[in-house]
C-alpha cells in the first residue's frame, strides 16, 4: 500500500493514503511532506511500527506518532 508521511509540529508525524494530508489533524499543522513509501504487513520500516500503522489506516484512515509513539486516537480528539 502506498502511503504518504508528513511531518507536523514538534516530533509529530502523520501517515495517510492522501497525498495532500487533507485528513490529518489540523492541530498539528502545518503538515510538510516527508516521503512516500509502500508498506506491507510483515515487513519493517525504519522508525515506524508497520502493523500499528496499517491497523490505524484501516480503522481511521490515518496514523499519527509523537517521537515514534502511536498517538492516533488522542490526535483525533
pLDDT, residue 59, reads 96
Specify whether the CB–CB gap between 62 and 22 falls below 8 A: no
pLDDT level of residue 74 (50, 70, 90 thresholds): very high
- Looking at the predicted structure, is the pLDDT value of residue 47 above 90? no
Residues whose CB is less than 8 angstroms from the CB of residue 52 and which lie 6 or more positions away in sequence, other chains included: 63, 70
Report the C-alpha gap between 16 and 4 in whole angstroms.
Answer: 5
pLDDT, residue 44, reads 93
Amino acid at each position: 500500500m502506498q502511503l504518504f508521511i508528513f511531518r507536523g509540529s514538534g516530533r509529530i508525524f502523520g501517515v495517510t493514503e492522501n497525498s495532500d494530508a487533507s485528513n490529518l489533524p489540523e492541530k498539528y499543522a502545518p503538515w510538510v511532506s516527508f516521503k512516500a513509501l509502500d508498506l506491507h504487513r510483515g515487513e519493517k520500516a525504519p522508525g515506524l511500527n508497520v502493523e500499528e500503522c496499517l491497523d490505524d489506516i484501516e480503522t481511521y484512515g490515518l496514523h499519527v506518532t509523537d517521537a515514534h509513539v502511536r498517538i492516533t486516537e488522542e490526535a483525533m480528539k
